[in-house]
Amino acid sequence: MPEEATLEDIRGFALSFSSAAKRALEAGFEIIELHFAHGYLVQSFLSPTSNQRTDHYGGSFENRIRLALEIVAAVKEVLPEDYPLFARISADDNLPNGEGWSLADSVELARRLKAAGVHLVDVSMGLISWKAKTLLGRNDSIDQVQMAATVQREAGVATGAVGGIVSARYAEKILQSGQVTLIFIGRVSLDDPHWPAHAAFELNAAAAYQLPKQYHWSIGLPNWRTNFLLNGN
Ligand SMILES: Cc1cc2nc3c(=O)[nH]c(=O)nc-3n(C[C@H](O)[C@H](O)[C@H](O)COP(=O)(O)O)c2cc1C
């Protein structure tokens, strides 16, 4: 059975996030994303579906978002001011009858995250409960992109859209709409680790993507692919 975290545990959570951020910085990562989604620790505080606490970390919206904001503050302390800090949220608990955490809650949280120094909110969805609807078919993708657009428009914070983005054309259409700031890809990059290069090729922007340096001698020229394709294979 899960046990309720003590106040000492909770102080430790913020410290663990800030020491992880320090290690990421030392290791040379150029962006840090805080994971506040998918049923993990911080979302379990955010969502009224899981948060059953009766102290100042449970109950009201203000209390449920307290841990997330404390973590952001602790992490900001160890990062240079302009170091890109993202946070992934589940925009909606995705439960029947609109129960649980809602898109409106996400908009308000995103405003607070921005005020606390988060530069971009990565808008995912669900996974707090087994009762949630299945995700990431085609229509779910459209819903999820719309949620990212809503959070960007209403909270005035940059957002990233994720979920079911597979073709370069769809990715580009989302970006050209200007409704979100960037897109994330998951499964398609497992299938094709060079998806960004292939997408750039498809969108006639091959020069915009640099392949890893170690491959330049063989496929570093922007036209290597065109040459092969034009020659008929
Ligand atoms: C094998 C696999 C592992 C994943 N692990 C994580 C994870 O650790 N943290 C996370 O936030 N999302 C994780 N995801 C979800 C992806 O980040 C992404 O949100 C999701 O797959 C939807 O995007 P896609 O349709 O482009 O794959 C994982 C997805 C896959 C397929």
Same domain, 132 and 41: yes
Specify whether 119 is located in the same domain as 47.
yes
Q: What is the 3-state secondary structure (H, E, C) of the chain?
A: CCCCCCHHHHHHHHHHHHHHHHHHHHCCCCCEEEEECCCCHHHHHHCCCCCCCCCCCCCCHHHHCHHHHHHHHHHHHHCCCCCCEEEEEECCCCCHHHCCCCHHHHHHHHHHHHHCCCCEEEEECCCCCCCCCCCCCHHHHHHHHHHHHHHHHHHCCEEEEECCCCCHHHHHHHHHCCCCCEEECCHHHHHCCCHHHHHHHHCCCHHHCCCCHHHHHHHCCCCHHHHHHHCCC
224 CA → ligand 1 middle, Å = 32
**Structural domain includes residue 2:** no
Identify the residue with better confidence: 228 or 110: 110
Protein residues whose CB sits closer than 6 Å to any atom of ligand 1: 35, 38, 88, 124, 136, 162-165, 185-188
- For residues 219 and 138, membership in a common domain is answered with no
Indicate if 119 and 221 belong to the same structural domain: no
- Mean pLDDT, the chain, rounded, equals 91
Is the pLDDT at 85 greater than 90, yes or no? yes
pLDDT confidence of 233, banded at 50, 70, 90? low
Question: Is pTM, for the whole model, over 0.85?
Answer: yes
Residues 67 and 137 in one domain: yes
In this structure, the residue with its CA closest to atom 13 of ligand 1 is 186
131: domain range? 7-187
116 and 229 belong to one structural domain? no
Same domain, yes or no: 87 and 124 = yes
Average confidence (pLDDT) over 135-155: 86
Domain presence at residue 1: no
Residue 124: its pLDDT value, please? 94
Q: Is residue 230 part of a domain?
A: yes
Atom of ligand 1 nearest to the CA of 141: 25
